[in-house]
Chain A
Amino acid sequence: MSHLLPAGFADLEPFAAKWCLPTEHERYNTRLASSMDELQALYDAVTPRYEEAVTHLEKLPFDALPDDATNLLHLIYSLIQASFPVEVWHQPKVPDTGSSTFDCFTEPVP
């Protein structure tokens, strides 16, 4: 099986296929479609590796990240998504937001 993440982050590989997503829209919708157990598992796995991941990414050219590094960055963006349900909401959705959506149609790359 090919690796999506840089060598050294093999422990995060089980999360990669689901969470290394290039757009906020995809990450947010994946969050909504996930259980709290799944979000907690992602949060618990990535948070302790955060500093190492950023240190790894910092050594690479910011404007020309290789694919595996871009995936790692997207995983960090997914951690940010998961952090709100885990740290404050205790549910995937923002409370009291019903069917409201707020769609991201443009964002910086990477």
Chain B
Amino acid sequence: MPRFPKPPEGSWTQHYPALGTEPVSYEDSISPEYYERERKAVFKRAWLNVGRVEQLPRVGSYFTKDVHAAHASIIVVRGKSGQVNAFHNICRHRGNKLAWTDDPKRETQGVCRQFTCKYHGWRYDLDGALTFVQQEGEFFDLDKSSNGLVPVHCEVWAGFIFVNFARQPEQTLREFLGPMVTDLEGYPFERQTSRFGYSTTIQANWKLYMDAFAEFYHAPVLHAKQSPEKYSAAAQQAGFEAPHYQIDGPHRLVSTSGVRFWEMDAELLKPTEILTRSGLFGPWEKYDLGEMPPGVNPANCDPWGLDSFQLFPNFVILIWSQGWYLTYHYWPTSYNTHVFEGNVYFLPATNIRERIAQEMAAVTFKEFALQDSNTLEATQMMLETGYVDRFHLNDQEILCRHLHVAVRDWVNNHEGARS
């Protein structure tokens, strides 16, 4: 008997009939050839989040982002009039990577008045214009005004900076995001500037890790030993059910119900959780962020735990009811490797107890994520053997099913449009 009502069709999955209920193939996660199709159809066409405006606090602030799946490296910079711009990180002279520090294979960031190429000293201003050419008179018919940095489509939504590598994006960023996501406008992302940033390279296809955080069916099992024995036993017996799933275009959402740790018996809690009054769900002292926009907790779950918004293709915003949020990025580097980035955002702490509670929440997040990431490598390894090629997904895994369908649709639509 479900603990939460399901849609009248009988299940969340059947509520979205295009998803089907049959076993699925993960050929899309083990095939080098499919990865090349994804790069063209998805990563060179979709709006990709590359960071937040707080990373560019003033005119001249910049960071670089290498987007392997789109064959791109870009500079994202706050320009002369304060706007956020993105350019391909390439000097127009001989093609050197323009902004890099020490190791050109690594990303960099900083503040500057102009970009100067390390190779022959060509300079570009913050708006991308070519302003200086070393020994300009030695060149032939060089028109500086038409040799500025090559722009990348760049738009900002709710402080999140998105880029699009298409020559001409088929949708504006707002059209792409759609109402389920844009209803988050008004959530105070911009006030939560206290950030813990983590990064790792995972030996698994990017979609498999998206799937890992798109379902919590695994939580009572994979993370069982995270909690005292009594709590783990109760959690495994109860299993997991989410009160709400939602799909809008290529994007998806799961809301979960809440756990009021501070009301729980001490033997169900880790002693340091009680000491620091914090844990996986965040600081027990809830942050008052004011009234929430309609997009947050859209099903009005009570108690409500979190909303995990998966924005197509590779970006997740996870909003906790305790008043903090996470972002995940999954940046493919090959069919079976990707870079996973996790960011933890809080309101700036104003006192020691708040700050310690943030440390506890961030470190707890890391302990969980480490378990998830290593499991994924075991999954990738066995999928690639090919001896089993169909896998069953339950109704709590509807979002896993949807991601692969959304990618497939983008690939098919793109290739259909070309032929």
Which of A77, A80, A98, A110: most chain B Cβ within 10 A?
Answer: A80
Q: Which of B350-382 contact A (CB under 8 A)?
A: 350-353, 355-356, 358-360, 362-363, 366-367, 369-371, 373-375, 377
SS class of chain A's interface: helix, strand, loop or mixed? Answer: helix
A87 at the B interface (CB under 8 A): yes
Q: Does A97 lie within 8 Å of B363, measured CB to CB?
A: no
Chain B count of residues within 8 A CB distance of the other chain: 41
Q: Complex Cα distance A76/B346, Å? A: 19
- Shortest A27–chain B CB gap in Å is 9
With A88-B270, A108-B194: A58-B363 Cβ-Cβ less than 8 Å:
no
Among B226, B228, B275, B351, the most chain A Cβ lie within 10 Å of the Cβ of: B275
Which residues of chain A are within 8 angstroms of B369 by Cβ–Cβ distance? 102
Q: Does A37 contact B (CB under 8 A)?
A: no
Number of interface residues of A (CB under 8 A): 34
- A50 in the interface, Cβ–Cβ < 8 Å? yes
Judge if A41 is at the interface, Cβ distance under 8 Å. Answer: no
- Contact assessment for A107 and B362 in the assembled complex, using a CB-CB cutoff below 8 Å: yes
Q: Does A20 contact B (CB under 8 A)?
A: no
Tally of A-B residue pairs with Cβ under 8 A?
A: 105
Q: Is A79 an interface residue (CB 8 A)?
A: yes
The yes or no answer to A2 lying at the interface (CB within 8 A) is no
Between A and B, 26 residue pairs with Cβ closer than 8 Å are A47-B272, A54-B353, A62-B351, A62-B355, A76-B356, A77-B359, A80-B356, A81-B363, A84-B363, A88-B226, A88-B270, A94-B367, A95-B371, A97-B371, A98-B374, A100-B370, A100-B373, A102-B198, A102-B200, A103-B198, A104-B197, A104-B198, A107-B196, A108-B194, A108-B195, A108-B196
Name A's B-contacting residues (CB within 8 A). 24, 28, 47, 50, 54, 57-58, 62, 73, 76-77, 79-81, 83-84, 87-89, 94-98, 100-108, 110
B residues sitting closer than 8 Å to A (CB atoms) are 194-200, 202, 225-228, 270-272, 275-276, 342, 346, 348-353, 355-356, 358-360, 362-363, 366-367, 369-371, 373-375, 377
Closest 8 CB pairs of A and B: A83-B272, A106-B197, A100-B374, A57-B352, A97-B374, A108-B194, A102-B200, A94-B370
